Structure 1
């Protein structure tokens, strides 16, 4: 699938009217839409249809969307956008920590939904910071191979989501350069519109947990207080 190609999108919401509302603009954009009304059906549809992206409501009967997100993330790096009427920061952070790529608060406009879906599909198709022709790079114990979208730490392969991979390559291929949160939103998410800077912090936390020996005292992804993040350079 390329960024411009049609995609198969799984829409998970317990209200039929919402599923219909979400599906209409997606189908109009040329995407195939499959739906599920609860968590169990979502997992079944995911395994059966192999979607390119999941729109997942938080408030589901039985098992909530946060837990379904964790289960989906445990088996795939497919982009997941969570939908919720609960806009509190704690809920957004919970969704991102569960493995969601993005979190959209209801009510939202069709334009916003289409923008976020388009950006997520574009990220999944091609990393923003590098291309497949970019040569591998080694920094300390980390080896990044963009052609294979493969990252190893100390010889052991680590599985990164699309967003984690793009954050890593954006930073690692410009060692020492400071990236603000807005810059990282632009590079990895395709734009800062509709998104909060806290989103970057949560995904950096996930990335550190996978590549750092001590995530609380990172050697590679360095916080620049009041500005953003940078990757270690030769002087560190």
Structure 2
């Protein structure tokens, strides 16, 4: 089978191979799933990312969803921004701590993530800090949620790609980080909507991913689940 023969669901959209629009594309696909008419162009305009996009962050995407009437929750399984010591603090205290953190860590690699997490909480968003696993992902899907995951795409695709090219190169290529939409599962296979035009028949547009691969790809990259609630 070639990619030309693959039938994709109506909510799927592709990004261009040389842009950074995977996050906005995931938003556009979720809006289609939820019956909202919000185009990729409008999302890029809202987020001030330009036509080719820029790197985006889970709380940034969650803020856009919330601003358009959808309810979200972030489940975070890393300590880069929110300290595990804050896990049981009330939201107001976490917000206060985050204000200090973004002030005192301006050069931290996760500073932008932290800023959006702060704004997300201030705007009414919900964050849970916990060590999540496959059972947690299944539970979210069972409840009717749709998920956006930031992943190590190489772990999903099983190939390295050149930067901004749909061209496999196991030596020169590397992981750049990628967002995908998770819509459901059957046993240990998870249904994925992927905006990047990989040209790999079994990893193109809409396909299934082994649960362990999905979990590992998530935890070694953003370690964050953006849950769009039913």
Q: TM-score scaled by structure 2?
A: 0.28
Q: TM-score scaled by structure 1?
A: 0.28
